[in-house]
Amino acid sequence: MTKHAHGEDVPVLIIGAGPAGLVLGNLLLAAGVDCAILEQRGRAHVEQRARAGFLAANTVRVLAENGLDAGLSARGKEHDTCAFRYPGGQFELCYRKLGRAEVHTVYPQQHLVADLVAEFLARGGDLRFDTEVTAVTGLDGDRPEVATRDAGGVTRRWTSRYVAGCDGRHGASRRALPPGAVRRHRRDHDVSWLALLVQAPPSMEAVGYAVHERGFAGHMARTAEVTRYYLQCPRGTDPMSWSEDRIWAELHQRMQAETFGPLREGPVLERAVVQMESDVLSPIQFGSLFLAGDAAGLISPSAAKGANLAVMEAEILARALVLAVHTGDSAALARYSADCLPRVWRAQEFSHWMINLLHGPTGTGEEADFLRGLQLARLESLRSSRSHQDHFAENYVGI
């Protein structure tokens, strides 16, 4: 396929080159459906921005079945154990031996995105970087229009039969929804994390979740040389206000390094404050617009579900679009929301449960003491109950 000319009609326009948009684009090309991807950022930014790196079994299946797993197969690493540290001690869960016996595959999202970009271009796909979508109109008709502006200020107007909004919660796709078209279900969990990417090997084989009176701390391997850490912090924290000495002191204390072994230290490569927020749009479609990834719903990072939900939605949407374009059968498109949203809500429920498991109440007093008692009871149940462990494993790795 060649690049589309100015104003040319394209069967499917995809807004956003994240996991959802890129998987969708690759699946459509493989099925002979012409499409174009419009991405506001430059290629280097898209391929280098660090995001989650835990791919669920269903995500790995989708990538493998569609020839999108070359990098994943070569460099991904299976992971099957998480460890919980709390005032009662430490316990580990090997989820390969629990639930459906599924595992995560650790593969940094920026590597996956780079793979998907390369494959899309190799398949002849039209991918426009540095292209801002300024307006999406006509969604209630059969030829919606998408207006764009490139880095040089050149404006274009695209037409298509279908638009896939994969450009996140603040993107043009959500903004194009008319008032009252969808309902937004939102939850602010009142929890903030200082997210850190550290140039240091992992300090433990397991994913580490530490519950401490000073706040949550997390440890997650990314590569043999880079580790992701999280520290619960007050709302409104400036990430640059924490010195590296303070960061490492908090990590050592909260992860009980004196008891369970020292942490391997290194320079902090990236830092940002993440607010624990969740939202779900219902439905995730309007007229000719279909949302996927964070545009369809935001999930907190507490259970590593974001990219996995995006791939799940992309697969379902691709199948429906292929049928509609090739045969004119739009029944699967009509039920896109109904097919996706029950899985989205299940992932949201587990993420919400994880937030309550890992974060104690703020403040003091009888109510706070009571809630801390409930938190410890959840941890003890997870430590001692096989049925609880099976349920955890099924939801931790699945969608």
Q: What is the pLDDT of residues 173-204, one digit of tens each?
A: 999 999 999 999 999 999 999 999 999 999 99
With CA atoms as reference, report the closest residue to 158 among 144, 173, 150, 146. Answer: 146
Enclosing H/E stretch for 348: helix 336-358
Active-site residue (options: 305, 336, 352, 359): 305
Q: In the chain, which segments carry CATH 3.50.50.60?
A: 9-78+105-186+277-351
With CA atoms as reference, report the closest residue to 124 among 14, 36, 5. Answer: 36
- Quote the CA–CA distance of 288 and 129 in Å, as a whole number: 23
Taking residues 240-252, report their average pLDDT: 97
pLDDT for 275-285, tens place per residue?
Answer: 999 999 999 99
The CATH number of the structural domain formed by 190-276+364-397 is 3.30.9.10
| Residue given tokens 């271009």 in the structure block | 121
- In the residue annotation, 209 being an active-site residue is answered as yes
Quick count: other Cβ atoms within 10 Å of Cβ 73?
12
Enumerate the β-bridge partners of residue 233: 192
Q: Please state the φ and ψ torsions of residue 126, each to the nearest 5 degrees.
A: -100, 105
pLDDT tops 90 at residue 251: yes
With CA atoms as reference, report the closest residue to 199 among 108, 251, 266. Answer: 266
- In the residue annotation, 336 being an active-site residue is answered as no
- Would you say 301 and 321 are in contact if contact means Cβ atoms under 8 Å apart? no
Give me the percent of the chain exceeding a pLDDT of 90: 88
Active-site residue (options: 19, 79, 86, 219): 79
**Per-chain mean pLDDT for the chain:** 94
pLDDT for 13-35, tens place per residue?
Answer: 999 999 999 999 999 999 999 99
Which burial class, exposed, middle or buried, applies to 173 when counting CB atoms under 10 A from its CB (0-12, 13-18, 19+)?
A: buried
pLDDT for 339-380, tens place per residue?
Answer: 999 999 999 999 999 999 999 887 788 998 998 899 999 999
Active-site residue (options: 209, 229, 230, 336): 209
- Would you say 7 and 17 are in contact if contact means Cβ atoms under 8 Å apart? no
Task: List, in order, residues 6 or more apart from 153 with CB less than 8 Å away.
Answer: none
With CA atoms as reference, report the closest residue to 177 among 55, 352, 270, 296. Answer: 296
Helix (H, G, I), strand (E, B) or coil at 364: coil
Task: List, in order, residues 6 or more apart from 362 with CB less than 8 Å away.
Answer: 190, 368
- Would you say 60 and 86 are in contact if contact means Cβ atoms under 8 Å apart? no
- In the residue annotation, 230 being an active-site residue is answered as no
pTM, rounded to two decimals: 0.93
Q: What is the dihedral of CA 135, 136, 138, 140, to 10 degrees?
A: -140
With CA atoms as reference, report the closest residue to 41 among 129, 122, 106, 127. Answer: 129
Separation in Å, CA 329 to CA 234, 316, 333, 337: 51, 15, 8, 16
Q: Which CATH number fits domain 9-78+105-186+277-351: 3.30.70.100, 3.30.70.3420, 3.30.1950.10, 3.50.50.60?
A: 3.50.50.60
SS3 track for 107-154: CCHHHHHHHHHHHHHHCCCEEECCEEEEEEECCCCCCCEEEEEECCCC
Q: In the chain, which segments carry CATH 3.30.9.10?
A: 190-276+364-397
Active-site residue (options: 301, 336, 352, 359): 301
- In the residue annotation, 79 being an active-site residue is answered as yes
